[in-house]
């Protein structure tokens, strides 16, 4: 048994990299649904069906705990999967929770009424599907009041990153930041609401300016997972090595993942 990490493609590797550094003794199984990436342009029903199938595959691989390291999947599928019921002893967690914990400076288990927080103007950069779902705004509203969220759908960024076209990705990021700032000229904080985006964090920060606090997910998720496993040590599993699975071509995905993380990654067919 291991902890499962799921993403539509390679973006979740930013989360995997952070959690393996934070939890070097915990084995992970990474599942990339590269054959169906990107999820950000798919409708909610399609994303739900693909996510449910991927999580089932990770359960088959011996993972009792699965992290949806994909904002689109977290937005479109997580709550529905939890409401429909999970198998006994299985858990699925998303990536919004650590972001909202950090932004509102309160624990997720704090179920007191929503209250005012220091940050009032928040820019959200995410895929078109995540923006359309309004899942981030919905979860934030449970815990904070008086926060203005302006969302920018960042079309094309994931594709450029997956293809390794850094010049195009940087140009697209600057364009999307410009579009956001026309709607919200002075954001106090920015949420990078896609696990691909930490690779472009410096570009986002430069385009937003030094006064905007940028919240990136990978390290936040790693700390949250470490805390969760401290409270639920039985979910760590008994595996001994990290495994990489993909629905795409293993050789091609391995090459791109190796470039992505700048270390040798070898995927197997899912």
Q: Catalytic site residues? A: 70, 194
Helix (H/G/I), strand (E/B), else coil: 106 = coil
Angle at 15 between CA 95 and CA 149, to 5 degrees: 40
Let me know: does 130 contact 196? Beta carbons within 8 Å: no
Helices (H) and strands (E) in the chain, counts: 12, 12
- Asked whether the beta carbons of 94 and 74 are under 8 A apart, the reply is yes
CA gap 50, 31 in Å, rounded: 12
Sequence-ordered alpha helix ranges (H) in 61-104? 71-73, 79-84, 96-104
The β-bridge partners of 28 are: 3
Q: Are 173 and 205 in contact (CB under 8 A)?
A: no
Residue 206, preceding peptide bond in cis (omega within 30° of 0):
no
Assess contact for 68 and 97: CB atoms under 8 A: no
């Amino acid at each position: 048994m291991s902890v499962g990490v799921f993403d539509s493609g390679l973006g979740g590797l930013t989360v995997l990299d952070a959690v393996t550094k934070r939890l070097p003794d915990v084995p992970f199984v990474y599942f990339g649904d590269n054959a169906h990436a990107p999820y950000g342009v798919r409708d909610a029903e399609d994303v739900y069906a693909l996510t449910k199938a991927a999580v089932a595959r990770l359960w088959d691989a011996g993972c009792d705990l699965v992290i949806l390291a994909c904002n689109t999947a977290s937005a479109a599928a997580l709550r529905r999967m939890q409401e429909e019921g999970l198998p006994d002893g299985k858990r699925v967690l998303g990536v919004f929770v650590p972001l909202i914990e950090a932004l509102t400076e309160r624990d997720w288990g704090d179920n007191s009424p929503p209250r005012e927080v220091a940050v009032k103007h928040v820019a959200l950069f995410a895929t078109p599907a995540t923006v359309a779902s309004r899942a981030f705004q919905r979860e934030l509203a449970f815990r904070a009041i008086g926060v203005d969220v302006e969302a920018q759908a960042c079309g094309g960024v994931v594709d450029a990153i997956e293809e390794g076209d850094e010049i195009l990705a940087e140009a697209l990021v600057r364009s999307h930041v410009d579009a956001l700032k026309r709607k919200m000229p002075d954001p106090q904080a920015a949420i990078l609401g896609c696990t691909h985006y930490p690779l472009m964090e410096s570009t986002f920060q430069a385009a937003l300016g030094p006064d905007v606090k940028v919240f990136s997910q990978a390290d936040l998720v790693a700390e949250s997972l470490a805390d969760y496993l401290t409270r639920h040590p039985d979910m760590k599993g008994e595996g001994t090595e990290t495994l990489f699975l993909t629905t795409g071509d293993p050789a091609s995905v391995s090459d791109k993942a190796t470039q992505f993380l700048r270390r040798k990654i070898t995927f197997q067919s899912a």
